[in-house]
Structure 1
Amino acid sequence: MEQQIKNLKDPTKTTAERLFALKWVAHLVGDVHMPLHAGRAEDHDGNLINVSWRGHDTNLHAVWDTDLVEYPGLSWSEMATAYDHASPSEVRQWQHDAPATWLFESYQLCTPIYAAAAQSTALDYRYFPTHGPTVQRRLLQAGIRLAGVLNAAFGAKPND
């Protein structure tokens, strides 16, 4: 991610190289905020933990990567409106935090995620009220932090 941010900022890079960097920065900022991207190596970040989500077979990583995000049935614009509730101080703090902090936050969130999966691999509508707020917060943090990275890359004034 650090290299792609440097490429994004570099005016000597071609438009194609900077566009490639932009896509990777957006992707990687999102990935770092999904807890199971900081999961256990031995289970490939939850990919080897078989669960069922609302009656279909899947794995724990996929539940967190996609199923919990899509469960509320909101469009991306509806999600942005529904989840956009960060205070100015949260925005400042989140944009000030280093990417290593983002990753450590995801790592810490893995403990209750793994514990819940150990209790039951049949995940249904009762799973969302417990874990949905975490997904929503991580999406909000990822968006705010991505905005900070892009503002810095393109020379915009920090959000103070």
Structure 2
Amino acid sequence: MKILITSDSHGLVHELDELIKTHQDVEFYIHCGDSELPSDHPSISEFITVKGNCDFGSDYPNERLIETKMGKIFVTHGHLYDVKYGLNKLKYKAMEMGANIVCFGHSHIVGMEEESSILFLNPGSLRLPRMRKERTYLILEWTDLEKIVHTYEYGKGKLFQKHFPNK
């Protein structure tokens, strides 16, 4: 299974359309909030999305739990879990939900780490990256043996990948 994960696009439209055109081989698309687009906007309509702290007046949910054939994915923006100060609150919520993977944004910093058998994925930002210059997004390949996280720079291709064996 392949999943595209993005976040913090802050009003971008063309870039979201291009992600879908470029990566038609994924099973679904996740946007971790701060799209700043109405939920009925055509450029966000293909994405499973949540409400970010800059999505004022939106009718997006604060979080979602996606059940897949491989396991559960918890999606939130992160601001309600203080992700800029650590992942503990998010970890406990993920454990409560029985999630194998957590997708979140808010910090604009691309990152991935595994803790307590939960894989935490932050795709960074398509518009305003922090800690690096590249505008990033992720593609998760989830197989019976492992999770492979591919980090992409928008418009330029793959930057690196990291493997996480299934436990």
Structure with greater strand share of residues? 2
Shorter chain as denominator, the TM-score bin is under 0.3
Name the TM-score, length of structure 1 as normaliser.
Answer: 0.24
TM-score by length of structure 2 reads: 0.23
Instruction: Report which of the two has the higher share of helix.
Output: 1
Which of the pair has more CA radius of gyration?
A: 1
Where relative contact order (Cα < 8 A, 6+ residues apart) is larger, the structure is 1
